[in-house]
Structure 1
Amino acid sequence: MTEKGTHPLTQVYPKFLERLEILNKTCQELPEKIDYKLVLDSSLYFIHFNDDFEVINCLVPKASSDTWTIQFAKMIGPNVPTSMDLVYNITLSNHFVPLREIAHRIQTYTKFFVHRHPFERLVSGYCNKFVDPPRYEYMNRYAKAIIISNYLKKYPHDRRSFEIEYTHLSDSEKQDILKQIDRLGSVQEKFGITFIEFLNYVINTVDESGIYNLDIHWMPVSSICNPCAVHYDIMIEHDYVSEESQLLVDYLQKNKATNAHLYFNKFEKKATRDKCNQYFSDIPLNVRRRLYEIFRNDFILFDYKYDLESKDYFCEENTNN
């Protein structure tokens, strides 16, 4: 709001201040050099603001973004649609907003985002887009790419070309590959994408194209919001999103003429954590290790501890709570 770590809510709720202190200390200790102008420019695409309530939100998918979208709509007015495209006044990346106005908002508005355990976001993103039930647009966009990334990068994607060029493979190898080629020709809602296929696709995308080519629903939070470059006032932990969001909403509504009834459903963190642990229980160590490297900044900046050798607990609580 003014200087780093001096927002009034950090005095009311000390955990906000504790998280900022850990973040600021860790940002200084990161070994890699950060081009702050570059990451700030990339963050502006995801940052939204509301002038009436003088608030800026870095919207993180799979971290209560839909819930916050609805709350913003209610805060703006009872007749405002809850569509995400209409909730916010404007995004900071809009070319018609003068740079001095962007700078003023960043310096003076309450800035916040919600962070979540990296592996929980991966499970949530996978289930939401490919399982519960599969989203046509995501199956249409990613299913073939995931299959090719997992099995067919070195091979033709049609049966005839493959059978002509790869006669040297064993019968079992050929059958495995032909099975994947047949999957490409299926109606895309008819076949499933497994969790390990999804994770391998995430890894391959980063290895080949970099983190910023990941879909935003499973891009690291630190790459979306860049908290080492943008000095946020409040960091909400997803495990406590109901209580902490309510604190922030109450603060934003203070002295504002609004009768909006804002309510955050209680988040069932145990059920979510159990689901995450279950999904990761069969994932090989080498895959988990590579994912940890990709999401390393999220683990470090948001103080999530992770034992790579653990065989039971993969999605443990933020140690600052």
Structure 2
Amino acid sequence: MIGFSDSHPWLEQISRQETLINGCSKIQPAEIEELKLSSLDHILVDQKHKFLYCYVPKVACTNWKRVMMVLTGSSNVTNLLEIPSNEAHSENSTLRLSQFPFKEATEYLKTYTTFMMVRHPMERLLSAFRNKFEGNLTSSKYFQRRYGRRIIKKYRLLGSKNYRKQEQSRRPLGSDVTLNEFVQYLINEGLKSNEHWTSIYDLCHPCKINYTFIGKYEHLTEDTESILSIIKAPPVKFPMTNSAHTKSKVREYFQMLPLKYMHSLYTLYRNDFLLFDYNLESVLGYDFG
């Protein structure tokens, strides 16, 4: 095993790996897709430090993409926040594993330090919903036009007062999607329409890729320090964001949903719950098991 820093609770990391292995053993082999070059699109490559990072939207990925830009030398800033978020998310900010020949890519998977950061499925989903459908950023407007219009048209009663009021005021359709409507959309049409709500299982393929280190969003500070120490990265001050705003609202939002919707969401994200040791107690007060 690659040496962990003395300050890292390595027993916790071993526990996470064991949970992942046990979870993968419970997933039907037919569900575990064969790795293809196109399926490695979310894995960013740092050849200098022999490091692979699978990015997951709404799991500190903007700041981690900024870190990757510094590690790979595509940016030389000392304050990561000086890198605009749109620059961090640009297609050419960091090389992706899918850009390499498959033989070379698989060799990197065998020999490089591999890392992913995970988060409670419902907390991550709520963060995506609030950011993309309740936000006022340019990216939010895109999501409201691209997805919100369709969601409202298909999952809101056309004769409702809210819909008529929206038509009369000529507000852009999609700017007031409710969580109930969004969840109906996911249940009926699946998670793969956008990376912001696609499961971590489908983005990072943890049952096919042997990850050296599994970070958890709730331990972002210590896990970030540990992985950067492992790869012997230069001093990088990782910007810490306050996730309490979303975490404190998870129960408030999801308890408004019908229980059958929660059952369906649990089924959609079952593999993420299973592989990364999460449950619904923090959301509902009990777990479906």
- CA distance in 2 between counterparts of 1:192 and 1:263 reads 37
Secondary structure, counterpart of 2:197 in structure 1:
coil
Matched, 1:62 2:58: yes
Identify the residue that residue 14 of structure 1 maps to in structure 2. Answer: 11
Identity of aligned residues (%): 26
CA contact (8 A) 2:141 2:175 kept: no
Secondary structure, counterpart of 1:239 in structure 2:
helix
The verdict on how the C-alpha distance between 1:51 and 1:185 changes in structure 2, with shifts beyond 3 A counting, is farther
Identify the residue that residue 125 of structure 2 maps to in structure 1. Answer: 122
Secondary structure, counterpart of 1:253 in structure 2:
coil
CA contact (8 A) 2:5 2:229 kept: no
Secondary structure, counterpart of 1:230 in structure 2:
coil
CA contact (8 A) 1:10 1:16 kept: no
Secondary structure, counterpart of 2:277 in structure 1:
coil
Cα deviation digits, residues 222-257 of structure 1 (max 9, x gap): 111110011111110110112101111122235xxx
Greater displacement, 190-199 / 288-297: 190-199
| 4+ aligned runs moved over 6 Å, structure 1 | none
CA contact (8 A) 1:151 1:177 kept: no
Amino acid at match of 2:26: E
Secondary structure, counterpart of 1:57 in structure 2:
strand
Q: What is the root-mean-square deviation in Å for CA atoms of aligned residues?
A: 2.9
Q: Tell me how far 1:268 sits from its aligned partner.
A: 4.2
Q: Where does 1:233-252 land on structure 2 (aligned, <5 Å)?
A: 233-252=212-231
Q: Tell me how far 1:203 sits from its aligned partner.
A: 1.1
- CA distance in 1 between counterparts of 2:65 and 2:162 reads 44
Q: Where does 1:1-321 land on structure 2 (aligned, <5 Å)?
A: 6-9=1-4, 13-31=10-28, 33-37=30-34, 39-77=35-73, 78-79=75-76, 82-85=87-90, 86-88=92-94, 90-94=95-99, 97-133=100-136, 135-151=140-156, 175-176=159-160, 179=163, 183=167, 186-188=170-172, 191-206=175-190, 211-212=191-192, 214-253=193-232, 258=234, 261-266=235-240, 268=242, 270-307=244-281, 311-312=284-285
Q: Tell me how far 1:56 sits from its aligned partner.
A: 0.6
Q: Tell me how far 1:218 sits from its aligned partner.
A: 0.7
Structure number with larger C-alpha Rg: 1
CA contact (8 A) 1:48 1:92 kept: yes
Amino acid at match of 2:160: D
Secondary structure, counterpart of 2:215 in structure 1:
strand
Q: Tell me how far 1:301 sits from its aligned partner.
A: 0.7
Cα deviation digits, residues 202-237 of structure 1 (max 9, x gap): 11212xxxx43x311011111111100111111101
Amino acid at match of 1:199: V
Q: Tell me how far 1:61 sits from its aligned partner.
A: 0.2
CA contact (8 A) 1:147 1:184 kept: no
User: What is the aligned residue count?
Assistant: 273
